[in-house]
Structure formats: structure tokens, C-alpha cells
Amino acid sequence: MKKKPLIISVFLIIIVTVVGIIIVKYDGQTEQPAQKKVVYLDPEALIEDRVQDLLSKMTVEEKVGQLIQAEEKSVTKDDVKDYYLGSILNGGGSFPELNVEESSTRELWEEMVDSYQDGALATRLGIPLIYGVDAVHGHNNVKGATIFPHSVGLGSTRNIDLIREIGKATAKEIKSSGPNWTFAPTVASVQDIRWGRSYEGFGENATLVADMGVAYIEGFQGTSISDLKQTSKVVATAKHFIGEGYTDGGKNQGDITQYTEEEIIEMDKEIYEKAVKAGVRTVMASFHSIQGLKMHANERLLTGFLKDELGFDGFVISDWYGIQQITIDHNGNSVSGLKEQIKVSVNAGVDMLMQPENWRETFKLTLQLVNDNEITMERLDDAVSRILRVKFEAGLFENPKTDQSLADSFGSEEHQSLARQAVSESLVLLKNDEVNGQPIFNQLPEMDKIFVAGKNADDIGNQSGGWTITWQGESGDITDGTTIVEGIKEVASNKTVTYDVNGKGAAGYDVALVVIGEEPYAETDGDTNDLNLKQVDLETIQNIRTEDPNIPIIVILVAGRPMIVTEQMDDWSGLVAAWLPGTEGAGVADVLFGDKDFTGKLPISWPTHLDAYDNRDKFDEYILFDYGFGLSKSEVTP
Ligand code: BGC
Ligand code: BGC
């Protein structure tokens, strides 16, 4: 009978283990008598105390590191640790791992960001990264995210509460994949539609832009700064400071010669006043210049106006190599070389430097500038304090990593239906003719045979525009979603719906819906002097007309800005501006065939010809549809 010794030895092992645990525990307690909490690590301490405490513990190198933002493709987890980096961004079209679109999944993003965060947490002081992305219409870099309409469409909705909800939803999707900062909203007041970034703004009117901007900021960050620490919130950016919509000829990164700094402030002041009041935590300097002086060097505006006058106490981030465009300082002295550019921009008020690939050199030069007192310790401390303040406010020290509970919100049905609603509300009805004695849009729901045509009817890429998965955007099946024609088939399921991209076979149908317009583009590439309909679109319409001279044609323009349709539109019974709706194309059909009416209003004047912008004094003579214009289904074109 060997059982007894076995039971005894098991018993003894248990006793020894339990006693051991007790001793270890007791020992731990005696060795670390109720240690006083380090102030900067204490979530109960005042933010300003935490900032000062941490700042007082930092070496010059650690401080300089906070000022540096590197691009993900050019930096490793070890670099983050070795250079005490303050921030990383993923630029447009920069994905995890293999850097192919297929790798842009939520899961891989989460892994990527959390791993960099581990690098930051492994530094002596464990200061977490603030990690930025351009989530400008949903979390648009990531496949499967809900893509909302671009801001020009949101401006058309005039629905402040809706914009706030979109900000909230987007914040959750961003946070579910790691990043904690979005470079949005764009609060440009768009004055010239030749500008390729027109669609990134809410419209031309400063009050509209300001109010929509505030709503987006509140959605991202919460309605007070104390909300920002919730794991479902992200840091927002008001960009690009200030007056970028006013450049000569609508040129991206261009110069403003017609207006002085004072006039630009006068016109766009309200936007930044309200954004700062709403607590926006970061502001991005713009690439453009006023009277030859780049914004990145403009001390009067960055420090004098934004920080001193408006009381902005978050931090200013430079744009993508933006400091390297500086050629003169605010006194008109010429500036050359990266070192001088860093010196001028930081002293002008830039706090964090977006230097995607050459961040290492930027780090070294900034350190030299501080050691040589060309950037004073006071200025460095100010910049670092601003960055740390935002990191504390955002709860990054307490929650540096992805909150797993947010995963379900990514591309969720709830977010999709919010986006679908936004699409419906963004549609602006511009032309509604009577056909057989009744407004055409009143009749649509009763019609049986619907013909759909056009290159933008069945293309998720085209209806999403630039800043979708890639930087400039792409045509085709770039992410999940419902195209406009799929939405029509779904909503008008009781009807015969036939689609032909080229418009062939329209004869015998009750109506032809022609979905045409722009193809994706983003900054600079999107600048143009030609907003006429493309040949392929004209041919699509022509094909329909040739086969059926009498079929009513309704044009649905999928475009980031007004297009010049003055010569063609007489032949159309209806015209709708659908802007760049994003992934939830069914929102278009909800209005065309469902119970919803058109409620969108133009956020930007619609010109007859682009000459309008070269003849400002006679601008009114070139207006086809006024700012604020938009019909309902029963309102016939006046
Ligand atoms: C754009 C910014 C953007 C940044 C990072 C720049 O080229 O102007 O709007 O936030 O790149 O992608
Ligand atoms: C990046 C964008 C950035 C742009 C600026 C691109 O390569 O992906 O994020 O805005 O460069 O030129």
C-alpha cells in the first residue's frame, strides 16, 4: 500500500507552497512600505502637476524626442525607445506589415500600433506615443471601416448632431485599431473649387465650417476635455491653419497675395476661435503661405494669434515635411537647410515636427539647436509641456494600448446605418423638372422600369474618393460597401432595375439614372482648371439619348465639388449632387425611392463657368446655383 506516503507528500508540498507564498507576500510588503505615488503616474493628480513633474524628470534628449513624429514605414519599435520618440503617423496609403492593401486590416493595425507603444513604454519614463492617422471620413486607411461622406457632403446636411455622431463613431473605429489621434477635421473655408482639397472642407462659409468643425471635434474628443480620456475618444486636429481656402487660383500649398494676414484672420477667425473653445487639442499648420511667408514660419499667426490671442494650449503639429518649405522667416530673412528650418518653425510656434523619413536627422539637429541655445530651454519646455498635456488628457498613460472591447464597433451595422443616413441627408437636389405635369422626383417611387448607367454607379472606389485606403484613392473594389446601384436594387426591389455602365439598352425604361462625375484624387493631383464632364460621361448620356430621345434623364453627380454642367443640363429632367458618399451607397436610393425627401443645401456656390474665380468682382454673374440652394421632391426648378 503505497498510497499513504503519496498523500502525505502532496500534503507537505501544499503546506510548503502556501507558507512560501505568505512569506514572499509579507516580504514584499515590508520591503516596499506604502511608497508615495509618482505624481506624473497618478491619474488623480492635476494634469498640470503631472506635466510639471514629468518635465522635471526629463533629460534634454528625452524632451527633444517628444517633438519628433516619424512615419511608420521608416521607424522601428527600437527606434521609438532609443530616440524617445513622441509620435508616429501612418500617412495615406501606409499600411501594416507588407505594406500592401490586403494587410490593412483592423487586427494588423492593432498589433502594429500596440507594438510601437511597447517601445515607448520601455523607455526610462514610459511616456506613451501619440499615434496619428488621417481618418478624414471614417477610419479610411483601414479595409472594412465605415466610410462616411467626405466633408463637403456633411456640410450639405447642415446637421450638426449628425456630424457629432459621425465623429463619435469614427473615434471608436480608430481606437479599435490602435491610433489615438486623427488629423481631422479640415476646417478650410473653400473659396475656389479648382482646389483639389475642396471636398475635405465643409463649404465656403466660415460660420458653417466653424459649427461643423466644432461638432466633429466634439464627436472625436467629447464635449469637454475631461471626456477625452475615455478609451472611445481620439485627439482631433483642426487643419490646416489658417486660410488655406484662399490661395491664388485655388492652388494647393499655394500663396495668398490678394489678402493680408489681417484680412485672413478677419475671415477665418471664427473657425479657430470656436475650435479652440471646443477644446481641439492639436492644430496642423498649413503648407500655404500668405504674402510669401509660409505658415510654418509665421510666428505672428501661430504664436501671436493662435496661442496668445485665442489661448490655444494644445500643440501645433507641422504638416508632412512642411517645415522644409520655409524659405524666409517672419522678418523676411532668408532661410535654408533643415537646421535653420527647424529653428525658424519651432521658434515660430510649431511644437511637433512631422518629418516622416528624416526624423533621425531632425532629432539630431533639434538637439544641437537646443544645446546651442538657438531654441531656448523655455521654448522647448513649452512645446514638450503642450504635448505631454495632451497625452495626459487623452488618458494615454492609463490606457496606452488598444481597448479590446471596441473591436465590435469597427465597421459595425450601427455605424453603417449612420453613414447611410448621412448619405441621404447630404444629397442636394438641383434640378427637378415637371414631366407629364408632375415633378420627376415625385414620380420616381411610382415608376416600374429603372435604367441605371454611368461609371460611378457601381464603384466603391469612385464613390469614396481620395483618402480612401490609399492616399489619392482608387477606382474599383477597394473596400467593403454598397455601391449606388446595389443600393437602388436593394431599396427598389419591387422594380425592374437594369444597369449598363455605358448607357446601352435604355429604350423602354421609365427613367434613366446616370451616375457620373469625378474619379478619385487628393491633394495637389486634384487641382484642376477643367471641371467639365469627361468624354466618357458625355458618351454615356449620348448613348441613352440615341436609343431613346424621350426618356427622362436624371444625372447623379458623384464628385468632390461642383462640376460645370451649364451646357448639358437643359436636356436633363433632374440633377442631384451626391458628393463623395463613401461606402453606404444605399443612402442615395433611400431618398430616390424611399420615404425620405431631399434636405441637403449647397455648402458652396455652384458656378456656370470656372472663369467665376478669375472675375471675383463679377462672381454673382457666374452663379448657376447659389450657396444654400436645394430643392425638395415636390419643388420644381424655378
Ligand atoms: C496633408 C495632411 C495630412 C498629412 C499626413 C499631408 O500631406 O496635407 O492633411 O494630415 O499629409 O498624411
Ligand atoms: C503620404 C500622405 C502625405 C503625402 C504628402 C504621401 O506619400 O502617404 O499621407 O499626405 O505623401 O505629400
For 216-227, write each residue's pLDDT tens digit.
999 999 999 999
Whether residue 73 lies inside any domain: the answer is: yes
Whether residue 630 lies inside any domain: the answer is: no
The label of the residue with cell 425592374 reads 496
Nearest CA to ligand 1 atom 5: 91
Angle at 235 between CA 233 and CA 238, to 5 degrees: 130
The stretch 317-339 carries a mean pLDDT of 97
Q: Does the Cβ of 92 fall within 6 Å of ligand 1?
A: yes
The active-site residue out of 244, 523, 537, 584 is 523
pLDDT at 166 > cutoff 50: yes
Ligand nearest to the Cα of 87, by number: 1
Q: Does the Cβ of 451 fall within 6 Å of ligand 2?
A: no
Q: Does the Cβ of 92 fall within 6 Å of ligand 2?
A: yes
Angle at 580 between CA 576 and CA 584, to 5 degrees: 95
Q: Are residues 297 and 330 in the same domain?
A: yes
Nearest CA to ligand 1 atom 7: 320
Report the 3 state secondary structure along 477-544. Answer: CCCCCECHHHHHHHHCCCCEEEEECCCCCCCCCCEEEEEEECCCCCCCCCCCCCCECCHHHHHHHHHH
Q: Are residues 396 and 466 in the same domain?
A: no
Whether residue 614 lies inside any domain: the answer is: yes
Nearest CA to ligand 1 atom 8: 319
Nearest CA to ligand 1 atom 10: 183
CA–CA gap between residue 430 and residue 245 (Å, rounded): 24
Give residue 104 CA to ligand 1 midpoint distance, Å: 19
Q: Are residues 479 and 618 in the same domain?
A: yes
From the alpha carbon of 200, which atom of ligand 1 is closest?
9
Q: Does the Cβ of 320 fall within 6 Å of ligand 1?
A: yes
For 383-427, write each residue's pLDDT tens digit.
999 999 999 999 999 999 999 999 999 999 999 999 999 999 999
For 501-517, write each residue's pLDDT tens digit.
999 999 999 999 999 99
Is the CB of residue 199 less than 8 Å from the CB of residue 560? yes
Angle at 347 between CA 314 and CA 58, to 5 degrees: 65
Q: Are residues 122 and 200 in the same domain?
A: yes
8 is in which domain, residue-wise? Answer: 3-39
Give residue 239 CA to ligand 1 midpoint distance, Å: 9
Give residue 468 CA to ligand 2 midpoint distance, Å: 13
Give residue 317 CA to ligand 1 midpoint distance, Å: 11
- What pLDDT is recorded for position 14? 53
Any idea what the CATH number is for the domain that residue 82 is in? 3.20.20.300
The stretch 606-617 carries a mean pLDDT of 95
Q: Are residues 432 and 540 in the same domain?
A: yes
Set of cell numbers at residue 243: 486660410
Q: Does the Cβ of 91 fall within 6 Å of ligand 2?
A: yes
DSSP symbols for 435-466:
ETTEEHHHHGGG-SEEEEESTTSS-HHHHH-S
DSSP 8-class letter at 83: T
- Give the domain-ending residue among 409, 439, 468: 409
Q: Are residues 50 and 12 in the same domain?
A: no
The label of the residue with cell 487639442 reads 281
- What pLDDT is recorded for position 99? 67
For 254, phi and psi rounded to 5 degrees?
-80, -165
Q: Does the Cβ of 594 fall within 6 Å of ligand 2?
A: no
Judge whether 218 counts as a catalytic residue: no
- What pLDDT is recorded for position 1? 38
- What pLDDT is recorded for position 55? 98
Give residue 325 CA to ligand 2 midpoint distance, Å: 15
Q: Does the Cβ of 93 fall within 6 Å of ligand 2?
A: yes
From the alpha carbon of 93, which atom of ligand 2 is closest?
8
pLDDT at 90 > cutoff 80: yes
Q: Does the Cβ of 320 fall within 6 Å of ligand 2?
A: yes
CA–CA gap between residue 291 and residue 296 (Å, rounded): 13
Burial of 226 (0-12, 13-18, 19+ CB in 10 A): exposed
For 216-268, write each residue's pLDDT tens digit.
999 999 999 999 999 999 999 999 999 999 999 999 999 999 999 999 999 99
Whether residue 186 lies inside any domain: the answer is: yes
Whether residue 414 lies inside any domain: the answer is: no
Whether residue 351 lies inside any domain: the answer is: yes
pLDDT at 28 > cutoff 90: no
Q: Is the peptide bond before 185 cis (omega within 30 degrees of 0)?
A: yes
Q: Where are the alpha helices (DSSP H) in 132-196?
A: 151-157, 160-175
Q: Are residues 327 and 440 in the same domain?
A: no
The stretch 539-551 carries a mean pLDDT of 98
Whether residue 175 lies inside any domain: the answer is: yes
pLDDT at 22 > cutoff 60: no
DSSP 8-class letter at 144: T
Any idea what the CATH number is for the domain that residue 531 is in? 3.40.50.1700
**Relative orientation angle of helices 47-57 and 377-393, to the nearest 10 degrees:** 130
Angle at 589 between CA 587 and CA 592, to 5 degrees: 120
From the alpha carbon of 94, which atom of ligand 2 is closest?
8
- What pLDDT is recorded for position 36? 73
Summary mean pLDDT of the chain: 95
CA–CA gap between residue 534 and residue 12 (Å, rounded): 87
CA–CA gap between residue 6 and residue 119 (Å, rounded): 49
Judge whether 378 counts as a catalytic residue: no
For 434-461, write each residue's pLDDT tens digit.
999 999 999 999 999 999 999 999 999 9
Q: Does the Cβ of 183 fall within 6 Å of ligand 2?
A: no
pLDDT at 15 > cutoff 80: no
Nearest CA to ligand 2 atom 12: 320
- Give the domain-ending residue among 409, 440, 468: 409
Is the CB of residue 576 less than 8 Å from the CB of residue 430? yes
Q: Does the Cβ of 524 fall within 6 Å of ligand 2?
A: no
Q: Does the Cβ of 134 fall within 6 Å of ligand 1?
A: yes
From the alpha carbon of 89, which atom of ligand 2 is closest?
9
Q: Does the Cβ of 523 fall within 6 Å of ligand 1?
A: yes
- Give the domain-ending residue among 344, 375, 409: 409
Q: How many domains does the chain fold into?
A: 3
| Three-state secondary structure call for residue 375 | coil
pLDDT at 283 > cutoff 70: yes
What is the percent of the chain with per-residue pLDDT over 70, rounded to a whole number? 94
Q: Are residues 377 and 516 in the same domain?
A: no
Q: Are residues 149 and 244 in the same domain?
A: yes
Q: Are residues 310 and 457 in the same domain?
A: no
The active-site residue out of 71, 204, 211, 319 is 319
For 558, phi and psi rounded to 5 degrees?
-105, 100
Give residue 399 CA to ligand 2 midpoint distance, Å: 29
From the alpha carbon of 471, which atom of ligand 1 is closest?
12
Whether residue 352 lies inside any domain: the answer is: yes
Q: Which of 197, 471, 521, 527 to mutate to test the pocket of ligand 2 (most atoms within 8 A of CB)?
A: 471
Q: Which distant-in-sequence residues (6+ apart) come within 8 Å of 332 by Cβ?
A: none
Q: Are residues 44 and 163 in the same domain?
A: yes
Is the CB of residue 356 less than 8 Å from the CB of residue 320? yes
pTM over 0.95: no
The stretch 529-556 carries a mean pLDDT of 98
For 606, phi and psi rounded to 5 degrees?
-110, 110
The stretch 486-492 carries a mean pLDDT of 98
Q: Are residues 394 and 457 in the same domain?
A: no
Is the CB of residue 186 less than 8 Å from the CB of residue 197? yes
- What pLDDT is recorded for position 101? 76
Is the CB of residue 604 less than 8 Å from the CB of residue 562? yes
Query: Which residues are bridge partners to 494 per DSSP?
Result: none
